[in-house]
Amino acid sequence: GQQLNQSPQSMFIQEGEDVSMNCTSSSIFNTWLWYKQDPGEGPVLLIALYKAGELTSNGRLTAQFGITRKDSFLNISASIPSDVGIYFCAGQLFKAAGNKLTFGGGTRVLVKP
Amino acid sequence: DSGVTQTPKHLITATGQRVTLRCSPRSGDLSVYWYQQSLDQGLQFLIQYYNGEERAKGNILERFSAQQFPDLHSELNLSSLELGDSALYFCASSSRESSGNTIYFGEGSWLTVV
């Protein structure tokens, strides 16, 4: 089945830094979504990408849908303490038999001590 | 607030028991998805319903079952529970099944099997 490789698995940030994470897939998707999950909470949608090559921003967040439809990246600019959490990429393929999301393993963003 | 409501938020039960998790999708959403999140497996898709009918199945055990009712709320039934079933169970919903569709998640139901 489809698999998503998300990297890095974890990263430390310092306030003001830009951070970047990406996902690659073994096969294509129609849609890429990026979610953030805080402890004990459900994933919250950050950005949705619907077309290959699409570049979309949401405040300090920017994400791109790769041309090959097999990858996506998320950038966070000028990070702040509340950016800490786990970020998940998710790919979606629309088929007659459903359109489930396949999730990456997550990128845990932590604050540098 | 995503608009997806899940109950109960926390549940502790013994091995061998059966529990039911409930989900109310966002107003107007026809599709409901169930996901399981555990430390070692990440977010795993279990099952999807669309307007009352099962649409897709993922890694859902035979001991688990789900249904979507005419009012579009959904229930996930977990039976003969084992310690390994302890996890966070998420419900998500979306309005349709075409491109441009966005999936929103509830806050989850924490299940602890002891």
Tell me the per-residue pLDDT of A54-86, one tens digit each, with 9 for 90 and over.
999 999 999 999 999 999 999 999 999 999 999
d(CA B41, CA B74): 24
Query: B108 and A99: CB-CB below 8 Å?
Result: no
User: Chain A: residue nearest B39 by CA?
Assistant: A105
Type of residue at B37: Q
d(CA B49, CA B20): 16
Q: How far is CA A101 from CA A90, A92, A95, B63, B104, in A?
A: 6, 5, 12, 23, 11
> Chain B interface, mutation test: which of A46, A99, A102, A108, most B Cβ atoms within 10 Å?
A99
Query: Which of B42, B48, B104 lies nearest to residue A45, judging by beta carbons?
Result: B104
What is the average pLDDT score of chain A?
91
pLDDT digits (tens, 9 = 90+) for B53-91: 998 898 899 999 999 999 999 999 999 999 999 999 999
Buried b (16+ CB within 10 A) or exposed e, A89-111: bbbbbeeeebbbbbbbbbbebee
